[in-house]
Amino acid sequence: MNPTNDSDASATSPAIAKKTAKKYVPKPEGLNLEFHRACLANGLLSVQRCSACGEHRHPPRWYCPSCHSGDYTFVPVSGRGEIYSMAINHFTVDPGWVEDLPYVTAVVQLDEGPRVVGSLRGVPPGEVKLGQVVEVSIEARGEDFAFLVVAVAGNGASAGSVTSHRG
């Protein structure tokens, strides 16, 4: 029997193809499902608007925090806003995000008032600034989930719009 060491084995072993993991897609329920379906139906970022006082709100709630009305609709919004807060992620437990590390999760204060959370693209993490003007759009991830994508305003992003994505 011929003993082998790791360097000999790697030199003669066939290359192992690297398999890209799929990103986990949540299965929203209740008001969150209504939010995602409204975005996908409109093809635009949509948030709740109180039918009584007109206030926009997110995340979705059963009652308006301003006037306590239970009447609401989901309406498309501009998608424009500014970075209110952010986190630069250097680690993930979801194998689908490993190739994206490091990535930025941004909290965006929309021009219409509410804040939404999305994944910032097209900007190196070290160059992101609080207060930076951005646009939020959606990517369809199946029939019931809209992934929120954040891009610096004027970088070719179409605010609020939808793109299709598999994976």
Start-end of H helices in 5-151: 6-12, 30-42
Instruction: Note the pLDDT of residue 23.
Output: 86
State the CATH architecture for 30-164.
Answer: Beta Barrel (2.40)
The C-alpha angle 39, 94, 144, rounded to 5 degrees, equals 20
What does the pLDDT look like over 21-33, one tens digit per residue? 788 899 999 999 9
Give the total residue count for the chain. 167
User: Does residue 79 have a pLDDT over 80?
Assistant: yes
Over residues 139-157, the mean pLDDT reads 88
Average pLDDT of the chain?
86
Q: Residue type for 129, please?
A: K
User: How far apart are alpha carbons 2 and 54 in whole angstroms?
Assistant: 79
Residue 99's SS3 state is helix
What does the pLDDT look like over 5-54, one tens digit per residue? 444 444 444 454 456 778 889 999 999 999 999 999 999 999 999 999 99
What does the pLDDT look like over 86-103, one tens digit per residue? 999 999 999 998 999 999
pTM beyond 0.85: no
Instruction: Note the pLDDT of residue 19.
Output: 62
Smallest Cα–Cα separation from 53: which of 65, 35, 37, 36?
65
At 71, the pLDDT band (50, 70, 90 cuts) reads very high
